[in-house]
Amino acid sequence: MDDLWVVLPHLGAGGAQKVGLLAAEHFSAQGYRVKVLTLIHGHPVLHNIPEGVRHQELGPDANVLHHWLSDGWNRSWLARGRRFCIAQMIKAYRALIRFQLLLLSPWLESTIQPGCDGLAYSLFKRGATSLGGERLRHLRDLIDQERPQRVLALLTRTNILCCLATWDLPIHLVVSERNDPALQRLQAVWSLLRRLCYRRADVVTANTQGVLQALQAMGSWQRLELLPNPLPSSFEASVQLGGLGLRQHEILALARLQPQKGLDLLLRAFASLAPSLRQGWRLTLVGEGPESAALKDLSSALELDDVVGFEGFRSDPQTFFRRASIFALPSRFEGMPNALLEAMASGLPSVVSDASPGPLEMVRDGVEGLVVPSENVEALALALERFIVDPALRERCGSAARTTLEALDWSVLEPRWRSVLALPTDE
């Protein structure tokens, strides 16, 4: 029997993946039997699996819409037609289920609790099982068969599936909300399922005070805890690095390339700087995502191709943190991004937006960095300009950032993590 499962949608790019693997590595090194379970079969693995940690994918059949559609190898016209008809029927049925759940949501929210029974529970279970599909069925079967002592789930839909899979099983379940629920856009039915399913979790965790407050306003949970992201051990040595004297004139953004991160705003702000200010400076974007092509097109349209670099995903980005002089995070909403913590640990001053409270818990305006209004290209450009023209300000903010990050060392956070995961405190 495993001591801990860390459940993620995949091991591609993402801060939740980093945190999950950090926790797996840390507790595996202490002698616990740890498995990382990913739900999407065949997704590229962009992270190194820690030594002693086992990785398992849920399996290829979990990727199909329904087990009636698992004969994708059969390319005959008859089989294709049958699969098309079945898929349309399933989609129509799921649309009906979504409508039913939303129509009955006030009743369900007043009734559904772990251990409940009756008509409301039957409707909830049927609807949630239908929406969870084969992935939920396979996850439930695997957990029921292997019975890990603890499950740590990360990211909203994965959290919901783990709540459903363990609904009536005696397993300690912790779900980790990674983004600000007040700003995160979910389909209405998944938002409802989050409010209902999180009631199963033994502990619901948030990685910032802002996310914690949003969860408090959302519902009543068995236990709600603040669980900050730990600082990667590989960055602890970075705290001992010297000042900014050997750094290059480089502005760094490390993030998934998607609208949430506001990298289009950063490109426009950088382009708006006077040529004399921009001379000798580069902007480097590290990450991959669905907005990659659009951002490259925007860079070309702004005539920035010679001074903007797209570096793709990097599992070990320390080189970029150590050579850059400014870190930029103009997100439209956030939880607590690992990239910001890693930048601060490396002594980088940061420019962050005020869109979500998470980054503001770490970066005070004029102390660890500069805070700008969300969606404001002009203010973002002015903040970049302040750092570009004032090396002393960069040095002060970078030094303060290192000091602030000492609170996220594993030695400080471990008692809280052990309490949340129900691990003995004397081991």
CA distance 48 to 98: 38
Neighbouring residues of 100: CB distance < 8 A, sequence distance ≥ 6: 123, 127
Select the highest-mean-pLDDT range: 125-129, 154-158, 242-246.
154-158
- Per-residue pLDDT tens digits for 333-350: 887 888 898 899 889 999
- How many Cα atoms sit within 13 Å of 402 on the Cβ side? 19
Q: What residue ranges define each of the domains in the chain, with the CATH number in brackets?
A: 4-230+411-421 (3.40.50.2000), 233-408 (3.40.50.2000)
CA distance 166 to 140: 7
Give 65-113 as a DSSP string: S-GGG--TT--SHHHHHHHHHHHHHHHHHHHHHHHHHHHTHHHHHHH--
Going from the C-alpha of 226 to that of each of 17, 174, 214, 354, 417, the distances in angstroms are 19, 12, 12, 20, 10
pLDDT band of residue 412 (cuts 50, 70, 90) is: confident
The predicted pLDDT at position 329 comes to 93
Compute the average pLDDT of residues 111-118: 88
Averaged pLDDT score across all residues of the chain: 88
Compute the average pLDDT of residues 180-197: 85
- Per-residue pLDDT tens digits for 25-81: 999 999 999 999 999 988 889 888 999 999 999 877 655 555 555 555 556 666 666
How much is the CA Rg of the chain, to the nearest whole Å?
A: 23
The predicted pLDDT at position 239 comes to 44
Higher pLDDT, 410 or 265: 265
- Per-residue pLDDT tens digits for 216-230: 988 889 999 999 888
Compute the average pLDDT of residues 269-274: 96
Amino acid at 119: L
- Per-residue pLDDT tens digits for 69-103: 555 555 666 666 666 777 777 778 778 888 888 98
The predicted pLDDT at position 130 comes to 82
Residue 159 has pLDDT above 70, yes or no: yes
- Taking the whole predicted model, whether its pTM rises above 0.95 is answered as no
Going from the C-alpha of 182 to that of each of 195, 213, 356, the distances in angstroms are 13, 9, 9
Query: Contact, 404 vs 228, CB < 8 A?
Result: no
The predicted pLDDT at position 371 comes to 96
Compute the average pLDDT of residues 293-300: 96
Neighbouring residues of 177: CB distance < 8 A, sequence distance ≥ 6: 156, 159, 204, 205, 206, 207, 211, 215, 335
Q: How far is CA 313 from the centre of its chain?
A: 15
